[in-house]
Structure 1
Amino acid sequence: MGWKKPRTSPTTSGPWYARLATSAGRPAVLAATLLMSMPGEYHVAKFAGWTDPWAYGMPFSLSAYAGIAAVVAATRPKGARGRFSATVGAAFAIVLALAAQVVAHLVNTHHMDQDQAWLIAVTSMVPPAVLAHLLHLAATPVPAPSTSVDTAETPVVERVVEPVVEEQPLPAVPPKPEQAPVLPAAEPRPEPEPEEQRPERPAVKYTDPRCAVIRPLYDAGYRPTTTEMRDAFTAADLPAPTGSTLRGILRAEIEQQEPALATLPTRPTPLHRAG
């Protein structure tokens, strides 16, 4: 069964209130955390010697840096150039944001002195370091998407097994006398029963066409793991989704369409087979 590349991101399965919390909750949480983080990052910039309005640039630079690095790390396929650097940058941005909050609150509660040389030096290096890494990510080429997968719909062809007819031996005919005897009418030969046809896999129309990549893994009699599903995308020369997407969206939709697949056992590991 062929599949078409989805134009939009797949919708999270579940009740309407769960989908609403996922779609509307994430922007609300993002806005709330940005607003809560801005005062601490602003005060750290003030401690380092920046005056208004330049001190307001520290919250925006850290937030934008963390978001850009996280998006680049999540969207580039495994092994692509620049993905490791983006992952390190996202972790570094999180550390900077956490450190800014901790330092600001320690200073405001008089547990730490703001006039320390190391604090001023580290804070002063943040903007140029962020700019250099963002320019590095922008200069790293993004690999072109693979076009090796046929995007046309492949029709489902049903296999028809024709019954095999066994030939019955003909009765022996005696030599023809001067007057041929009248032979009794031959009994009708019974029709052979057709062979039992093997049941075909039902043709399922998935809402997310990427399900067709991992559906054949169930034919082995086991419920596929995250590693097996990711390997199937790699073998098809396609970018593998995240583990949560493979388990919570693609595998969940397949097992929702065919509930019997959810009862299959997981393939035993070599350690389980040895034990």
Structure 2
Amino acid sequence: MGWTKPRTSPPPSAPWYARTATTAGRPAVLAATLLMSMPGEYHVAKFAGWTDPWAYGMPFSLSAYAGIAAVVAATRPKGARGRFSATAGAAFAIVLALAAQVVAHLVNTGHMDHNQAWLIAITSMVPPAVLAHLLHLAATPVPAPTTSVDTMATPPVVERAATPVVPPPPVQAPAIPPAEEPRAELEPPAEEQPPVIKYRDPRCAAIRPLYNDGTRPGTAAMRQALIDAGHGRVGDSTIRGTLRAEIEEHEPDLAELPPAIGRTA
């Protein structure tokens, strides 16, 4: 079974206000948090030496990148190529975004001096690191989800016609008519045809005539009959366990017939 995307919305049975809060609340919360994060990240960029308008790119390099990496990590199936990198990048981006907010507020409240070499160096590395990781995620192919459904082919069940089961008549020597009888009466009487049966497996119809000589056919004879009828070569277990079993299920008396001479069971 292939990977299935988990449900991200409440079920239809949830109250209307829960569904509304989930569908409308998520975009509102996303917009609010981005707006609240932008000033701090902007000030961190200014501390590192960027001037306007370039300093406004820092919020996108941190907050937006954290969201992109988190979505990529969540949507890639387990074990897929690039999922670990996306997860690590999302965690690192969230840490950077949090650190930017903390540093900006510490500086603005006078608890920290912004003119420090390590702070300027780390902040300067953010844009190229974000660009490199986004290009890496874009170059990593996303495997398409696969689904597989196991189905079992079952032959249609066809009800047989409501006809009486009549065993084939025993083979009898034709009676010799008198010499003065007309020629038309010298011909042996026609054999009674077997009952019309609708088999579940149509290949049974190619084997049923082998019973007409009053014997139970063997595997070799049945296989040859199937080949002559255009069904190809069929396995022994299918011939005996499926086809012959279905014929004798409809006509139980056929199973009691003597085996054909030289037959293979």
Normalising by the residue count of structure 1, what TM-score does the alignment of the two structures yield?
Answer: 0.51
**Which residue is equivalent to 1:26?**
26
Residue 30 of structure 1: how far off its partner (Å): 0.7
How many Å separate the matches in 2 of 1:56 and 1:142?
32
Pick one of 12, 17, 21 that aligns with 2:10: 12
Answer yes or no: is 1:73 the counterpart of 2:73: yes
Give CA deviations for 1:169-221 in whole Å, capped at 9, x if unaligned.
xxxxxxxxxxxxxxxxxxxxxxxxxxxxxxxxxxxxxxxxxxxxxxxxxxxxx
Matches within 5 A, 1:110-129: 110-129=110-129
Give CA deviations for 1:133-191 in whole Å, capped at 9, x if unaligned.
011101111112214237x9x9xx9xxxxxxxxxxxxxxxxxxxxxxxxxxxxxxxxxx
Residue 11 of structure 1: how far off its partner (Å): 4.5
Tell me the secondary structure at the aligned position of residue 113 of structure 1: coil
How many Å separate the matches in 2 of 1:40 and 1:149?
52
Instruction: Kindly report structure 1 stretches of 4+ aligned residues shifted beyond 3 Å.
Output: none
Residue 35 of structure 1: how far off its partner (Å): 0.6
Using a 3 Å threshold, how does the CA distance of structure 1 residues 106 and 66 change in structure 2: closer, same or farther?
A: same
Paired amino acid for 1:102: V
Give CA deviations for 1:82-127 in whole Å, capped at 9, x if unaligned.
0011011110011000000000001001111111000000000000
**Which residue is equivalent to 2:207?**
none
How many Å separate the matches in 1 of 2:78 and 2:72?
12
Residue 63 of structure 1: how far off its partner (Å): 2.0
How many Å separate the matches in 2 of 1:87 and 1:27?
22
Tell me the secondary structure at the aligned position of residue 24 of structure 1: helix
How many Å separate the matches in 1 of 2:144 and 2:16?
36
Residue 62 of structure 1: how far off its partner (Å): 1.2
How many Å separate the matches in 2 of 1:15 and 1:90?
33
Matches within 5 A, 1:165-176: none
**Which residue is equivalent to 1:229?**
none
Using a 3 Å threshold, how does the CA distance of structure 1 residues 122 and 15 change in structure 2: closer, same or farther?
A: same
**Which residue is equivalent to 1:95?**
95
Residue 10 of structure 1: how far off its partner (Å): 6.7
Equivalent pairs, count: 148
Identity %: 87
Tell me the secondary structure at the aligned position of residue 125 of structure 1: helix
How many Å separate the matches in 2 of 1:95 and 1:113?
20
How many Å separate the matches in 1 of 2:58 and 2:136?
20
Paired amino acid for 1:25: G
Structure 1 unaligned blocks of 5 or more: 158-275
Matches within 5 A, 1:153-192: none
Contact between 2:63 and 2:94, CA under 8 Å: does it hold in 1?
no
Contact between 2:46 and 2:55, CA under 8 Å: does it hold in 1?
yes
Give CA deviations for 1:230-261 in whole Å, capped at 9, x if unaligned.
xxxxxxxxxxxxxxxxxxxxxxxxxxxxxxxx
Paired amino acid for 1:12: P
**Which residue is equivalent to 2:59?**
59
**Which residue is equivalent to 1:142?**
142
Using a 3 Å threshold, how does the CA distance of structure 1 residues 10 and 67 change in structure 2: closer, same or farther?
A: closer
Paired amino acid for 1:24: A
Paired amino acid for 1:108: N
Contact between 2:9 and 2:22, CA under 8 Å: does it hold in 1?
no
**Which residue is equivalent to 2:195?**
none
Residue 61 of structure 1: how far off its partner (Å): 1.6
Contact between 2:9 and 2:23, CA under 8 Å: does it hold in 1?
no
**Which residue is equivalent to 1:40?**
40
Tell me the secondary structure at the aligned position of residue 77 of structure 2: coil
How many Å separate the matches in 2 of 1:63 and 1:108?
20
Paired amino acid for 1:88: A
How many Å separate the matches in 1 of 2:33 and 2:72?
21
How many Å separate the matches in 1 of 2:67 and 2:115?
30
**Which residue is equivalent to 2:49?**
49
Paired amino acid for 1:58: M
**Structure possessing the higher relative contact order (Cα contacts under 8 Å, 6 or more residues apart):** 1
Paired amino acid for 1:48: A
